[in-house]
Each structure stands twice: as structure tokens, then as C-alpha cells.
Amino acid sequence: MLRKIYYWLPPALRLWVRRLVYLPRDLFRGPSEMPPEGLIYTGSGDFKRQGAEWVQFFRDHGGLKPDSDVLDIGSGIGRMALPLSRFLEGRYEGFEAMKVGVDWCREHIEARHANFHFKHVPLFNDLYNSDGIDAAAYVFEYPDDSFDFACAISVFTHMAPGEVENYLRQTKRVLREGGHLTATFFILDEESEAMSRTNPSGFVFRHDFGHYALMDKKVKSANVAFRRAYLEQLVKDAGFERAYEVKGAWCGREKGMYIGFQDVWVLRAIGAADY
């Protein structure tokens, strides 16, 4: 019910509501390198712990090294960038649709780390922005073969099929051969669909559009799931192969560490995309 009410609000008002809810806590919090809770518009749970666990996952399974050049797709308000700033010696580039996140990251991360850069890209997304650039046609503003590692955490779970297809192709273009992308999805297959229907704690995508499904028809980008076969073809056509997979707890599977909520794919860039 609370999620329905939240989605009913216009995008700009959603962030203001969050700011008001967390205002008392933010006013009396002590010094912290973390952003105020009222400004955190991505994910849920322990912001600091989540970021640290993701970076460890990138190092263990995603091909991330200290000297990697990194692209953070949907960099938010620094959930990945903050822990990366204590580890990364290579170049970091992050782009984000929400200006409030970019402004905070520039002031608190970029100003202290010369190898970190953040870009605001005003993309349309009915969860966050009521107008803006079409993500299905957006060309990443980086040269070919610029990065060794990219991540898109809780990004493709809020995008339409054409947008995901474009982002996969753009990511492949800017990755060096053999580079890695760690991305999260909601993946529909026989197992996950059966579990989500019978488990009250799982996400249910009731609005079926064939190769994808939506949780909410009013806010289409709220949560988007893709059928496994369709997603596998998108990945292949973009020039990736899947190197590692973690099945998520979103459908009712037993939940382990935070990264286990959404489905995680580690993709390796292997050849020319199938255009």
C-alpha cells in the first residue's frame, strides 16, 4: 500500500516527501561522509554496508582491479563511488539522471578525488524525471574502448526493453575488449515466476507484456522484469557473454547478503555487437 501511494505522487514530490520524513534524523546526525538519509533516493537498507558489499563483489567476481577505469551507470548519490574512492587508482566516471545526486557527489567525492568525475544527464524516467532525454536513444558521452569495468546496479530494473538494449550496446562500445559489466535485473523464468506467485514476501509482476512485465502500470519504470530468453538474446546481440550469475531473492528465494535481492549478471565484452 505504501509503495502504491509513493508511486501515485509526481516524481519531484517523491524526493521532497522523503526529505520531510527523514528531516528530524538528518538535522541531528553527527559528522558523516554519507549523504543525508533524506537525499538517498536509490535502494533501501544500510547505504554504507551495501556499497562496501558491492565493491567486494566487483573485486571477487566482476573483474574490478585497483587500476581499472570504471564507468558507473546510474551513479545515484555515491553508493558505489564512496567505497570505490578508498580503493580505486584508475579513472572513475559516473553519470546520473538526478541532479541532486550528481551535485552531492561532486561536492563530497569529486572535490577530494581528482580521478573521480560525475555527469548529470537529464534522462526521462517516470520514476524519477517527468521529462528529459530518451534513454533508448542516448549515446554515452565517452569514447570507444574507454573502460575496463562498468556497473549498472538497480538501473535495468527501472528501464523499458528498448532502453536496456541501447544501454547494453553503449556499454559494450565504451568497454575495452575483455572488460566486464556487472548489472542487476529481475529475471522471469519458470522458477522465479512460480515462487513469486506463492510467496507473499516476493515481488509480483502482474502486468505481462510478453518478453517483459511491470509491477505497476501507472509508473512503468517502478520495477521492470525481463524473461530470461529475451535478456540472454539482448546480451548476446550487444556483444557480451555471461561470466557469472547470482539468482536474487526478489521472488521469494532465501535472502543472503544484500546483493542477493535482485538477479546479478556479470557480463564479459567479447566481440563486435550484432548491429
Q: What angle do CA 21, 22, 25 make, to 5 degrees?
A: 135
CA atoms within 13 A on the CB side of 241: 6
Q: What share of the chain is helix, strand, coil (3-state, %, to 5)?
A: 35, 20, 45
Yes or no: say if 257 and 49 are a contact pair by the CB < 8 Å rule: no
Yes or no: say if 224 and 158 are a contact pair by the CB < 8 Å rule: yes
- Whether 218 shows a pLDDT value over 50: the answer reads yes
pLDDT value at position 275?
47
Residue range 173-208, pLDDT digits in tens: 999 999 999 999 999 999 999 999 887 777 899 999
Of 128, 98, 83, 113, the residue nearest 222 (C-alpha): 128
Of 9-18, 117-126, 159-168, the poorest mean pLDDT is in 9-18
pTM for the full predicted model: 0.89
Of 40, 123, 124, 121, the residue nearest 82 (C-alpha): 40
Of 166, 255, 220, 274, the residue nearest 11 (C-alpha): 220
Question: Could you give the CA distance from residue 141 to residue 214 in angstroms, rounded to a whole number?
Answer: 29
DSSP state string for 167-218? HHHHHHHHEEEEEEEEEEE-EE-HHHHHHHHH-TTS----EE-SSEEES-SS
Q: What angle do CA 132, 269, 119 make, to 5 degrees?
A: 30
Task: Quote the percentage of the chain above a pLDDT of 70.
Answer: 83
Of 5-14, 79-88, 140-149, 262-271, the poorest mean pLDDT is in 5-14
Yes or no: say if 41 and 63 are a contact pair by the CB < 8 Å rule: no
**CATH value of 42-269 in 3.40.50.150, 3.40.630.30, 3.30.365.10, 3.40.50.720:** 3.40.50.150
Determine the distance from the C-alpha atom of residue 182 to the mean position of all C-alpha atoms in its chain, rounded to a whole number.
Answer: 9
Of 152, 124, 151, the residue nearest 219 (C-alpha): 124
